[in-house]
Amino acid sequence: MTQPIATSTYRHTKKEGTYLFVDQKLPWEKLPAALQKEFSSDNKVIDFEMTPERKLARASSQTVYEALKTQGYYLQMPPSDPNALQQMEDSWVATQQALYAKTSNKS
């Protein structure tokens, strides 16, 4: 069984679809200088537990998990096709809504 990694995700303010996943154990100052310059710790989107099985909108969960484990961060760049980006986001939102509906009906 794999250990979850406490992860924070940051959004780039100027580059649509660009996100930085960071292991919460990694101090911000230990990120490469270029990432510190491009991202702001003030632009945190979400904190969550990352596992290889967790569904992500655009990136392979196994790839993100391995990068967090080995280097402490993962940079997600947007796909080059804007239509592909929108389709992936729509699919992810639909999946999350279905999961929410399924879990909220159990109460």
More confident residue, 99 or 56: 56
Six token digits for residue 9: 């995700």
**pLDDT above 60 for 101:** yes
User: Using CA atoms, how far apart are residues 13 and 9, in angstroms rounded to an integer?
Assistant: 13
Q: How far is CA 2 from the centre of its chain?
A: 18
Q: What is the pLDDT of residue 106?
A: 56
Angle, vertex CA 81, rays to CA 92 and CA 63, nearest 5: 55
**pLDDT above 70 for 13:** yes
Q: What is the pLDDT of residue 50?
A: 96
The full set of domain ranges for the chain reads: 5-80
CATH architecture of 5-80: Roll (3.10)
Closest-CA residue to 58 (of 37, 33, 22, 88):
88
pTM reported for the whole predicted model: 0.72
Length of the chain: 107
**pLDDT above 90 for 41:** no
**pLDDT above 60 for 107:** no
Residue 72: which region, alpha, beta or left (left: phi > 0; alpha: psi -120 to 50)? left
Q: Which residues partner with 6 through β-bridges?
A: 49
Q: Collect all residues with Cβ–Cβ distance below 8 Å to 95 and sequence separation of at least 6.
A: 55
**pLDDT above 70 for 83:** no
Q: What is the mean pLDDT of residues 56-80?
A: 91
**pLDDT above 90 for 72:** yes
